[in-house]
Amino acid sequence: MPAYWNSQQAQNWTGAFVIAVVGVLCVYLRFDVQGHWSAPLTRQSLLFIATTFCFMVFLSPWSMNHRPRLVALLWLELVLIGTLYLLVDIPYVAILGIVWVVQAAETFSIRIATWLLALAVALFGASQAWHWAGSNLAMGFSNTVTLSLFHLFAVIVTHRANREQTLREETALLNRELVATRELLLQSSRQSERLRIARDLHDLLGHHLTALILNLEVATHLTEGKGQQKVEQALALGKLLLGDLRTAVSELREDDAIELLQALTTLVQDTPRLQIELALQTQTVNDVRIAETILRCTQEALTNCLRHSDATRCDIDLRSEAGSLTLTVQDNGSAVASIRAGNGLKGMAERVRQLGGAVMWLAGSTGFQLTVVLPDADGLAALDDLHGADAGVA
Q: Name the nearest CA neighbour of 180 among 272, 301, 260, 267.
A: 267
| Domain ranges (residues) in the chain | 2-135, 196-254, 259-393
Mean pLDDT of the chain: 75
As a whole number, mean pLDDT of residues 305-334 equals 82
Within the chain, where are the H helices?
A: 2-5, 8-34, 39-58, 61-64, 67-87, 94-107, 110-132, 137-200, 206-222, 225-254, 260-268, 288-308, 343-354, 377-393
Cα→Cα distances 218→28, 210, 211, 311, Å: 114, 13, 11, 75
DSSP designation for 275: E
Question: What global pTM score does this model have?
Answer: 0.60
Query: What's the pLDDT score for residue 386?
Result: 53
Residue with the larger pLDDT of the pair 1 and 106: 106
Assess contact for 347 and 299: CB atoms under 8 A.
no
Assess contact for 32 and 99: CB atoms under 8 A.
no
The superfamily CATH assigns to domain 259-393 is Histidine kinase-like ATPase, C-terminal domain (3.30.565.10)
Q: Which amino acid is at 179?
A: V
As a whole number, mean pLDDT of residues 255-273 equals 76
Residue with the larger pLDDT of the pair 100 and 21: 100
d(CA 234, CA 134): 119
- Please name every residue paired with 325 in a beta bridge, in sequence order, or none if there are none: 320, 374
Query: What's the pLDDT score for residue 118?
Result: 92
pLDDT at 175 over 60: yes
Query: What's the pLDDT score for residue 392?
Result: 46
